[in-house]
Structure 1
Amino acid sequence: MKNLLIIFLIFIASIHYVSAEGYPKSRPNESDGPTIVKIAFYIIDIENIDNKKQSFTADVIIRLKWKDSRLSGIEKAIPLNAIWNPRIQIYNLRDVDARFPEVVKILKGDTIQYTQRYYATLSSPLDFSEFPFDVQTLPITLLSFGFTPQEVVMDFEVAGGADKFSVSDWNIENIGAKTSIIKASFFQDGLEVIERPRLDYEFKANRHIQYYWWKVLSPLMVILFLSWAVFWIDPSQVGAQVGVSGTSILTLIAFLYKLDNILPPVSYLTHLDNFVFTTLGLVFFAYLEALVSTTFALKGKKDFALKLDYIFRIAYPIIFTIILLIFWA
């Protein structure tokens, strides 16, 4: 499906527009090798990272520069489609609002400059296996749909941006840019392969883990302390022991439904899922121990039942501490 999208965009990009003002439409200095396009980024803001849709919203300015001596001396702004241009587009684009006019400026030294501001929603495959300790890579991927790597070379020039972004639950850091070549074929046999130059400007996103301490860890600790209380109740008090341990299980199950608003909707278990289900197993173990100790107490072995409760008064918090260190340290 992705290859078909690339092929469609290449077809659209290959359409030549006729310039009413007679500006050259062919690539400048074709015999001298590939045209070098210098690319700069300025990140105004990253507003949102959507776990469910696996996308992020960015407000970014992208500047392209290339040489074309045929346009030397022109002082007015020229429509982008009226001249030759590298036809560079955002590859992982889902939705966009372009804010600047589609025009280029002729700078000194025969340099053509095209600057555009995009308010865009961009796709990004997110891996939630380590959630909420996951580190995500957010790319802005540019592709020259109209030309091969032998015709256009994308060269990262410079990047800048705001010191702080408005996305509240993530810490965003700049990684940098890398260039590569993307390949797509019309058919699965791979006999006809199209190559296009690609540039990825990437960010690293880390979650603010304090939110999950308060929203997940703290309520779970309260539920675990509630289940721990069963070891302090006289084992002959069957109703009290079973009632406390059963209430702990039901409370935890209700809490799991609340977690649906926090956990990403994926088909595999995340790090947080494993912690929650381990905690559920520990609470269920307290319930089983309550049944065993009350059974021994009813059979006249109350001393053994008391000894069993005493052992787990000490073992239960130790086991939970070990689990806590494994998952949250």
Structure 2
Amino acid sequence: MKRILFLPLVFLGMSIQLVQSAETPALIERPGSGNVPTQVSVGIWIVDINNIDSAQQNFTADIAVVLRWKDARLAHTGTGAVHYALDQIWTPRVSIANETSSVVRKLPESAEVEPNGTVLYRQRYVGPFTQPLRLESFPFDRQNFRIHFVAIRYRPDEVAFLPDENWIRDGLQKAAGISRSITLPDWTVEKWDAKPSVYALTPGLQYSGYVFEFTASRNVLHYILKVILPLVLIVMMSWSVFWTEPTNSNTQFSIAVTSMLTLIAYRFAVDTQLPRLPYMTRLDVFFLVSTLLVFLSLIEVLVTTILDNNDQVARAKKLDRYCRVIVPVIFVIASIAIFAHPRG
């Protein structure tokens, strides 16, 4: 009876062991394990950058990546490339540090192995990538963007990334580049770079990595024509109270209050383009100066109305004449101070 009970227990234990071994794949040693790092060549091509979202602090891109390394254990006598699933061979386990959960991998997770043991892995990533932005100079800003590839589990002394020599021989500088036909309407890409870069997950925990960086400047014509120019016109509309007779206080109040309400509504419309920032952008400062000057016009109307009610029309007109010069001069000087210095 004990023997009969013992046999099922043995089979149960063997089944559990087989299931556990199937669920936990063995970690394949990297080629040339030892003191010499495994060299992995990288080629990166930016197919498209179709959006930079300042409010969400990300950019959407289409990226083609080629990784190449040598693994003599996979050399074969065939005439063509042999395809392997990534879990069947050693790979540098590359991921993108700043990718979001919406990034899609367009190509199968497999690799090609040539007869001499050269392994070729291709992938295409499409989706949004996070990027913290410094927006103090918005909308006259210049931003740096990066795509950081990281070899999970491997330190810089274990895996070394370097530009793909085949791409360089084919004329691609640094084995990377950006397509000239990117669909990015409101930004201009000024320069780019690709280089090895250590990724520090936490202090003391560093992984080997490779980074593609590009610098882009915002095209300001849209903001000048559709944001700044209308704002200037709203402020100038409020100045019409200085040319209105103090005896016509109803008209003056109507103009000043309308200018103030229009400015506030306009401010809410522009705020949707930016995240909630703990600092002020250039456009914020310009809005603040404009709001203060429109409010100053409203205060001036109140003062001239009081003077008119006290039969001091001459003093009210004199105040209007001063404001016709002082307020525009303040606005011009403030605008130059805000927008004259170079891009941030």
Task: Answer yes or no: same fold by TM over 0.5.
Answer: yes
Paired with 1:53 and 1:211, the residues of 2 have a C-alpha distance of: 20
In terms of mean alpha carbon deviation, does 196-205 or 288-297 score higher? 288-297
Alignment-derived partner of residue 29 in structure 1: 32
Equivalent of residue 181 in structure 1, options 174, 180, 198: 198
Is 1:326 aligned to 2:337, yes or no? Answer: yes
CA distance in 2, matches of 1:257, 1:245: 19
Task: Please state whether the residue corresponding to 1:63 is helix, strand or coil.
Answer: strand
Alignment equivalent of 1:61, drawn from 52, 61, 64: 64
| Alignment-derived partner of residue 177 in structure 2 | 160
The alignment yields a C-alpha RMSD, in angstroms, of 2.3
Q: Are positions 1:169 and 2:186 aligned together? A: yes
1:82 paired with 2:88, answer yes
- Which among 309, 315, 319 is matched to residue 298 of structure 1? 309
SS of 2:34's partner is helix
1:192-214: CA deviation from partner (whole Å, max 9, x where unpaired): x4321122211222211111112
Q: Report how many aligned residue pairs link the two structures.
A: 304
CA contact (8 A) 2:85 2:110 kept: yes
Contact 1:18–1:82, Cα closer than 8 Å, also in 2: no
Percent identical: 35
1:243 aligns with 2:254: yes
Kindly state the Cα deviation for residue 110 of structure 1 after the two structures are TM-superposed. Answer: 4.2
Which residue in the other structure is 1:4 paired with?
none
Contact map agreement 1:17 1:82 (CA 8 A) in 2: no
**Does the 8 A contact of 1:40 with 1:156 survive in 2?**
yes
Q: Which residue of 25, 30, 48 maps to 2:51?
A: 48
**92-101 or 56-65, larger mean C-alpha shift:** 92-101
2:183 maps to amino acid: S
Long gaps (5+) in structure 1: 1-14, 20-24
Residue 11 of structure 2: aligned partner: none
| Cα separation, 2, equivalents of 1:156 and 1:326 | 45
* 8 A contact 2:55–2:272 mirrored in 1: no
* Equivalent residue letter for 1:316: V
SS of the residue 1:205 aligns to: strand
Report 1:129-208 matches (<5 A).
129-157=136-164, 158-184=175-201, 193-208=204-219
Instruction: For 2:270 and 2:218, locate their aligned partners in 1 and report how far apart those are by CA, in whole Å.
Output: 17
Q: Please tell me whether the aligned partners of residues 58 and 130 of structure 2 are also in contact (alpha carbons under 8 angstroms).
A: yes
With normalisation by structure 1, the TM-score equals 0.84
- Note the 1:214-225 alignment, pairs <5 A: 214-225=225-236
Q: Which residue type is aligned with residue 150 of structure 1? A: D
Larger mean Cα displacement after TM superposition, 274-283 or 78-87: 78-87
The whole-number CA distance in structure 1 between the counterparts of 2:257 and 2:75 is 82
**1:50-89 deviations in whole A, cap 9, x for unaligned?**
2232222111111111122232345322222211111111
Q: What amino acid maps onto 1:34 in structure 2?
A: P
Pairwise CA distance, 1:216: 1.2
CA distance in structure 2 between the aligned counterparts of 1:120 and 1:107, rounded to whole angstroms: 31
CA contact under 8 A between 2:176 and 2:194: conserved in structure 1? Answer: no
CA contact (8 A) 1:137 1:203 kept: yes
Q: Which SS does the other structure have where 2:211 is aligned?
A: strand
Q: State the match for 1:103 in structure 2.
A: 110
Aligned residue identity for 1:84: W
Please report how far the alpha carbon of residue 282 of structure 1 lies from its aligned counterpart in structure 2 after TM superposition. Answer: 0.6
User: How far apart are 1:313 and its partner, in Å?
Assistant: 1.1
**Cα deviation, residue 228, structure 1:** 0.7
What SS does the corresponding residue of 1:77 show, helix, strand or coil?
A: strand
How many Å separate the matches in 2 of 1:290 and 1:107?
Answer: 83
The equivalent of 1:10 in structure 2 is none
Distance 2:271 2:229 in 1: 17
CA distance in 1, matches of 2:302, 2:33: 84
